[in-house]
Chain A
Amino acid sequence: SAVISQKPSRDICQRGTSLTIQCQVDSQVTMMFWYRQQPGQSLTLIATANQGSEATYESGFVIDKFPISRPNLTFSTLTVSNMSPEDSSIYLCSVILNTEAFFGQGTRLTVV
């Protein structure tokens, strides 16, 4: 199994500012995934973080808004930039290990 430590667990931020979310995994993994879960909705994949190369973004998500770092095989960050109230959501990182998928505890972001 994999244990994922994600922080912060929650934050309240002013619009126009940026927040960086960190994810630490206790195993080395090639890919880490970042998801968003808006209130009452399911998870939407934002991007795939690859070690040693740029992240791959899904349709509707861009690097300028959600820059991602992946400095090694156990760590990744997602930044939510120039925030607006529409960015209020839960952000989760995830890895797949031996056909099982594991999630961090999520970061509950509220933009005011």
Chain B
Amino acid sequence: GQNIDQPTEMTATEGAIVQINCTYQTSGFNGLFWYQQHAGEAPTFLSYNVLDGLEEKGRFSSFLSRSKGYSYLLLKELQMKDSASYLCAAAKGGNKLTFGTGTQLKVEL
């Protein structure tokens, strides 16, 4: 079976840094995706981690530890437009994705 856990919601201040954690248990694990989804829109790809370590992409970074079944998404210099749902998804054989329930991030002034 597969199990993806992430916090339901988080609140952070504009300009701050926030870390969204994701733990997973999945057989045949191929990698970990992070997506951003604004209400009423399709998910937008943010990152894909296959190897352990940190991948940095502008204000967003993603970390993976395969041995611990753990990933996080780090958002720096938060902006109001970053208010959205953030989904982690574990990929297994055949590129099938199992999604977590999403973390609703609210950025406040």
| Closest B residue by C-beta to A104 | B42
Residues of B within 8 A of A42 (CB): 87, 99-102
How far is A101 from B88 in the complex, measured between Cα atoms in Å?
12
Residues of B within 8 A of A41 (CB): 101
Shortest A102–chain B CB gap in Å is 7
How far is A99 from B47 in the complex, measured between Cα atoms in Å?
9
How far is A29 from B102 in the complex, measured between Cα atoms in Å?
27
Q: Cβ of A28 < 8 Å from any Cβ of B?
A: no
User: Number of B residues contacting the other chain (C-beta, 8 Å)?
Assistant: 21
Tell me which of B41, B43, B48, B97 contacts A99 (CB under 8 A): B48
User: Could you tell me the dominant secondary structure of chain B's interface residues?
Assistant: strand
Q: Cβ of B7 < 8 Å from any Cβ of A?
A: no
Q: Cβ of A100 < 8 Å from any Cβ of B?
A: yes
Q: Cβ of A48 < 8 Å from any Cβ of B?
A: yes
User: Could you tell me the dominant secondary structure of chain A's interface residues?
Assistant: strand
Q: Cβ of B95 < 8 Å from any Cβ of A?
A: yes
Please determine whether B45 and A100 come into contact, CB atoms closer than 8 angstroms. yes
Residues of B within 8 A of A94 (CB): 97
Please determine whether A43 and B99 come into contact, CB atoms closer than 8 angstroms. yes
Please determine whether B97 and A101 come into contact, CB atoms closer than 8 angstroms. yes
Contact flags A26-52 to B (C-beta < 8 A → 1, else 0) = 000001010000000111110010000
Shortest B26–chain A CB gap in Å is 13
| Closest B residue by C-beta to A41 | B101
Tell me which of A31, A44, A106 contacts B99 (CB under 8 A): A44
Please determine whether A92 and B95 come into contact, CB atoms closer than 8 angstroms. no
Please determine whether B99 and A102 come into contact, CB atoms closer than 8 angstroms. no
Q: Cβ of B69 < 8 Å from any Cβ of A?
A: no
Shortest A15–chain B CB gap in Å is 24
Residues of A within 8 A of B48 (CB): 99-101
| Closest A residue by C-beta to B30 | A99
Please determine whether B96 and A92 come into contact, CB atoms closer than 8 angstroms. no
Q: Which residues of A pack against B, CB within 8 Å?
A: 31, 33, 41-45, 48, 92, 94, 96, 99-106
